[in-house]
A and B are shown apart, each in its own frame.
Chain A
Amino acid sequence: MSATEAIDLDFEKGNFHYDTEYDFDAGTGLSEATIDYISGVKGEESWVRDFRMKALQTFLDKPMPLHWATRDLSNIHFDKIRYYLSKGQTPSRNWDEVPDDVKQTFERLGIPEQERKFLAGVEAQFDSEAAYSRMKDDLSKEGVIFVGSTEGLREHPEIFRKWFGKVIPTADNKFSALNSAVFSGGSFIYVPPGVKVKQPLQAYFRINAENFGQFERTLIIADEGAEVTYMEGCTAPKFETSTLHSAVVELVALRGAKIQYITVQNWSNNVFNLVTKRARAEEEAEVKWIDCNIGSRLTMKYPGVILKGRKARGEVLSIALAGDGQHQDTGAKMIHAADETTSNIIAKSISVGTGRSSYRGIVNVPRNLKGCKNNTECDALLINTNSRTDTYPAITVRGDGNSVQHEASVSKVSAEQIFYMRQRGLSEAQAMSLSVNGFVNDLVRQFPMEYSVELKRLIEMEMEDSVG
């Protein structure tokens, strides 16, 4: 079948790796020596090293959250992971200067082409460090900063330090502590007051090595009235052993600023993807998380917004697709901390075969606030009978004059629906992708065009894979 071949080829797109020689390797396992090594090669100031050391202790002290999360977490062997691998700490500004194997990786993933077509800037991270980073010249002239976190710490410590770790404290959870100890790579973005970045800035995170842990740290600050859209894509090859991806992403939207953060991840099914993402929105600021989780063995991710200033607005639009053997444990957090703040959560999950989806949400509106609104919608779609879906919403609204609305639904794609579509000529996988696309359609319409096309393609690939 022609269609299947084409899709298989596409699927192989992310599933390859090069036997890369790394100039910098922190070895296997995690200890103070690992942190000394990372901090040393990066040439960090002592406060950063101290920050890391403290975080290591917090990480070691905190238990795995097995009292509420899946037991699969206990299958992560921290002593077998490699925490830092790179070919150097300074990214190239020109693709020609990027080492061949790394360049070929990103070319195969289509990054330079996308950069030419519709992006204002690109950062491409290969294992621990950015290999390439470039932004359009006119944006630099306006004072926009878009670099990797290593470079951000080195070149812009005054802005970096002010906000670093302020939205997500080290001790927030075991994995934010781990990231704080060994972070490397990720993006640092600063948009000056009133500057509106028209085209998206894109980061691409690529895991190449086996038994590797990627711990990027992203910090985005939109100053008063500034606007920026950031998109991240993620892939890794399929290895027999598990890989760990544990990022921390902090967003700061100052008064009247707008940040849109879009994730389309397609991790291979050996990746533990345990990410902490949170934003702080000041007065009349808007933060929108668009989070599409496809692939991985286990994803745990609950993007949140702390609505700190009056009339701040937070939104999470989330799609999670749990294919055979995968577990998507996702959700959203909205912490209302000022009057007239509004939040909106729309979460759609799809479980296929033995795939499992869980939604966890927190909406908190304290007693003293007035005029706050939240809308939460959780919809689950089950394909095949052994799929599982759970919803754990926690909505705490105190006081009068605040309103919340919560809706949840579970629907199934029945064998009869699949038969109906196949009678019209669609293969089983095509019928399943069409149902899934129909299910997420109203949400995807709100995404930028390029990303909705990409998402549709990823859904098709995942369905082909599930049908086998």
Chain B
Amino acid sequence: MDSLIIDNLNVKIDGKPILKNFCLNIPKGEVHALMGPNGTGKSTLAKVLAGHEEYEILGGSVLLDGIEILGKEPDEISHAGLFLAFQYPLEIPGVSIANFIRAAIESRLCEGESLDAPAYYSRLYEKMDLLQMDRKFTSRSLNEGFSGGEKKRAEILQMAMIEPAYCILDETDSGLDIDALKIVSNGVNIMRSNDRGSLIITHYQRLLDYIVPDVVHVMWDGQIVRSGDKSLALELEKKGYDWVKEELAVTCA
């Protein structure tokens, strides 16, 4: 039950198969890394899990703590406990970070319940201190004119406030300088918990210097072709993605 189980997921976009019998099991308490070259379906997986309507789902299932989330609306999936940190977070002009997160928290309240504003702000500031963020940050319009690093920080702050059961981080390290990378990794590490499972999607090994995964998966052509411990990431780094193409793809077929 305490697991995000993706079973035999098959997904197409524009008639082209992207995910092929994709299987992955992320138990709570573990951090998994999903690596692979561009175009193998990593970001498609992230969006399909979050309920993006653009993809055609041919079959399979995604159980979040035993509840089927495949084919549900994005907000239902969010409420069920899945959080996606976007590779390219979108700008929401005129809406401050504080108000945006507030709306997200309010969407989780039961009927008749109302948000305790002072408690909300003290929790927000507590998380920001933990993530070493300047308090002025929350009054800025969400992602509007943000640098790559600021956008990723805003994603981590949202994640810390929403406290999801499962976090999917899609290429969170792309476009980050080393300082930003450290802050983001620090955030993910702080959120490591026995009550939470995480999937870190990344193209490069360098993020894994800061976030040590329990399991590393290598993806190629819509499926996982090899899984192992963190040494797999290092091996991949050394041998390059050609190795995946030439050896792993063959063994898989």
Contacts and interface: CB of A to CB of B under 8 A. Distances in A.
A405 interface: no
Interface string A429-446: 010001101111110000
Interface in B76-115: 77-79, 83-84, 86, 89-95, 99-101, 103-104, 107-108, 110-112
A426 B93 contact: no
Contacts of B53: 419
Nearest to A427: B75
Given A3-B107, A434-B100, A422 B75 contact: yes
B101 to A, nearest CB: 8
Given A5-B111, A6-B111, A427-B107, A422 B94 contact: no
B229 interface: no
Q: Is the interface of B mostly helix, strand, loop or mixed?
A: loop
Contacts of A5: 111
Contacts of B100: 421, 424, 434
A438 B90 contact: no
B111 A417 contact: no
Interface string B234-250: 00000000000000000
A438 B141 contact: yes
A251 to B, nearest CB: 30
A447 interface: no
Contacts of A6: 111
A423 interface: yes
Contacts of A426: 75, 103-104, 107
A425 B75 contact: yes
B52 A419 contact: yes
A421 B158 contact: no
A386 interface: no
A416 B90 contact: yes
Given A2-B110, A422-B74, A427-B75, A435 B95 contact: yes
Contact of A425 (B89, B95, B104, B141): B104
Most buried by A among B74, B86, B100: B74
Interface magnitude class on chain A = 20 to 34
Interface string A388-427: 0000000000000000000000010010110111111111
B64 interface: no
A422 B92 contact: no
Interface string B54-89: 000000000000000000011101110001101001
A40 B185 CA distance: 81
Interface in A182-221: none
A420 B104 CA distance: 11
A430 B103 contact: yes
Contact of A423 (B74, B91, B94, B95): B74
Interface in A59-86: none
Contacts of B110: 2
Interface in A114-131: none
Contacts of A417: 90-92
Most buried by B among A3, A417, A422, A442: A422
Interface in B188-224: none
A438 B92 contact: yes
B94 A437 contact: yes
B94 A438 contact: yes
Most buried by B among A428, A430, A438: A438
B73 A442 contact: no
B92 A2 contact: no
B162 interface: yes
B94 A439 contact: yes
A417 B50 CA distance: 14
A442 B96 CA distance: 12
A6 to B, nearest CB: 7
Nearest to A420: B90
Contact of A434 (B74, B84, B89, B103): B103
A439 B86 CA distance: 23
Contacts of B107: 3, 424-427, 430
A425 B162 contact: yes
A401 B99 CA distance: 44
27 contacts: A2-B112, A6-B111, A414-B90, A419-B50, A422-B75, A423-B50, A423-B83, A423-B84, A423-B86, A424-B101, A424-B107, A425-B75, A425-B104, A426-B107, A427-B75, A427-B107, A434-B99, A434-B100, A435-B92, A435-B93, A435-B95, A437-B95, A438-B92, A438-B141, A439-B94, A440-B94, A441-B95
Given A417-B91, A425-B162, A437-B95, 5 more contacts: A417-B92, A419-B50, A426-B75, A426-B107, A434-B100
Interface of A: 2-3, 5-6, 411, 414, 416-417, 419-428, 430, 434-435, 437-442
Q: Lowest 8 A-B CB distances belong to which pairs?
A: A438-B94, A2-B111, A438-B95, A422-B74, A425-B107, A424-B104, A441-B94, A425-B78
